[in-house]
């Protein structure tokens, strides 16, 4: 029996009067890592935003542990699901510690301060993401990689069962890209958090996830493990490139490169 944490049923979304997704069905199993890939403008971000209630769909449902998120209170959702957004530019100058404490918002009543449990979880989240030494720094003074880890700390301070990430590696150099992906995969292994992330880099997607979801032409074009996606013609059809796949001896995962535009 599959344990479905997040279910998308017949989802259609319009963005700026344009139909971006039409009739998407998707089941996210508990404890796995999923990557969503696809060409620019295919609706990857739209899908993840609709899954996190940031966009209202025209039709269809998103079910979190069986409950329709559009009928749930924001606080109830936030206790189970966290999201790391793409462009976290902010005019705020909060310190890292304060930011991570905001992650506890859903867990406390508005008239109460932070309790011992909140403090412990804040510390834990900062340790996990290696920002504990930056806790008194303001987020607007951090480097891109540090800032992304601080936002990640805030997300995990929510103690979510599932974490959605929208292009968490964009604007980071290769070292910081891997650092974030390693961190995410560690959170999955050690804390059992289900991960759904939108990624640009296909090699990152196949390397770090249990299943890859390919979005194309307003719907899910293919879904499966790394090998089945890369072996098929999917990448060539969707991205219009000729590809070559080899095996990485260390991880036994496929590595792919694009040879030329078709």
Partner 1 sequence: MQEDILLRDRKGFKIGVIILLIIFLFIAFLVGNIKGTLKVEPKRIFEVIMTDDGSPERMVIWNIRLPRMILAALVGTNLALSGAILQGVMKNPLADPSIIGISSGAGLFGIVVLVVFPQYIGLVPIAAFIGAMFAAFLIYILSWKGGIQTTRIILAGVAVSALFGAGISGILVFYSDRVHGALTFMNGSLSSRSWPEVWTILPYTIAGFILVNVFAEKLNILVLGDDVARGVGLNVEATRLGFTALAAFLAASAVSVVGLLGFVGLIVPHSIRLIMGNDYKYMFPATALLGSVLLMFSDTFARTFLSPTEIPVGIVMAVVGAPFFLFLLRRE
Nearest residue to 182 (alpha-carbon basis) of 4, 12, 33, 1: 33
Among 52, 122, 148, 188, binds partner 1 (CB under 8 A): 52
- CA–chain centroid gap for 74, Å, is 18
Torsion of CA 235, 237, 240, 246, to 10 degrees: 30
Distance CA 241, CA 256 (A): 11
In the complex, what is the shortest distance from the CB of residue 101 to partner 1, in angstroms, rounded to a whole number? 10
- Name the maximum alpha-carbon separation found in the chain: 60
Among 10, 59, 68, 90, binds partner 1 (CB under 8 A): 90
Site string for partner 1, 104-133 (x = CB under 8 A): -xx---xx----------------------
Interaction between residue 16 and partner 1 (CB under 8 A): yes
Among 3, 25, 27, 93, binds partner 1 (CB under 8 A): 93
In the complex, what is the shortest distance from the CB of residue 227 to partner 1, in angstroms, rounded to a whole number? 33
Q: Burial of 56 by CB count in 10 Å (0-12 exposed, 13-18 middle, 19+ buried)?
A: exposed
Residue 215 gets the label, from left (phi > 0), alpha (psi -120 to 50) or beta, of beta
CB closer to partner 1 out of 165 and 183: 165
Interaction between residue 158 and partner 1 (CB under 8 A): yes
Q: What are the phi and psi torsion angles at 30 (to 5°)?
A: -60, 135
Q: Candidates 1-9, 94-102, 120-128, 178-186: pick the segment binding partner 1 (CB under 8 A).
A: 94-102
In the complex, what is the shortest distance from the CB of residue 24 to partner 1, in angstroms, rounded to a whole number? 20
In the complex, what is the shortest distance from the CB of residue 197 to partner 1, in angstroms, rounded to a whole number? 15
Q: Kind and range of the H or E element at 149?
A: helix 144-157
In the complex, what is the shortest distance from the CB of residue 79 to partner 1, in angstroms, rounded to a whole number? 7
Q: How many residues bind partner 1 (CB under 8 A)?
A: 40
Instruction: Tell me the residue length of the chain.
Output: 262
Interaction between residue 172 and partner 1 (CB under 8 A): no
Is the separation of the CB atoms in 57 and 225 below 8 Å?
no
Residues that bind partner 1 (CB under 8 A): 15-16, 49, 52-54, 73-79, 82-83, 85, 88-95, 98-99, 102-103, 105-106, 110-111, 135-138, 151, 154-155, 158
């Amino acid at each position: 029996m599959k344990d479905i944490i997040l279910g998308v049923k017949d989802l259609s979304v319009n963005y700026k009067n344009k139909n971006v997704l039409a009739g998407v069905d998707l089941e996210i199993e508990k404890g796995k890592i999923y990557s969503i890939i696809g060409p620019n403008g295919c609706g990857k971000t739209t899908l993840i935003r609709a899954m996190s209630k940031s966009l209202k769909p025209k039709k269809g449902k998103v079910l979190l542990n069986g409950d329709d998120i559009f009928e749930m209170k924001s606080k109830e959702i936030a206790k189970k699901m966290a999201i790391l957004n793409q462009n976290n530019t902010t005019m705020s100058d909060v310190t890292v510690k304060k930011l991570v404490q905001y992650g506890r918002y859903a867990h406390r009543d508005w008239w109460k301060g932070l309790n011992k449990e909140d403090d412990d979880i804040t510390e834990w989240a900062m340790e996990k993401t290696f920002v504990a030494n930056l806790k008194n720094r303001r987020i607007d003074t951090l480097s891109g990689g540090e800032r992304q880890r601080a936002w990640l700390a805030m997300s995990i301070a929510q103690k979510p069962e599932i974490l959605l990430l929208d292009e968490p590696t964009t604007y980071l150099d290769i070292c910081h890209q891997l650092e974030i992906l390693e961190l995410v995969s560690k959170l999955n292994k050690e804390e059992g958090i289900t991960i759904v992330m939108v990624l640009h880099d296909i090699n990152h997607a196949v390397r770090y996830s249990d299943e890859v979801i390919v979005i194309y032409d307003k719907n899910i074009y293919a879904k499966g493990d790394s090998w089945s996606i890369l072996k098929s013609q999917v990448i060539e059809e969707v991205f219009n490139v000729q590809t070559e796949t080899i095996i990485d001896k260390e991880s036994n995962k496929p590595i792919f490169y694009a040879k030329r535009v078709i």
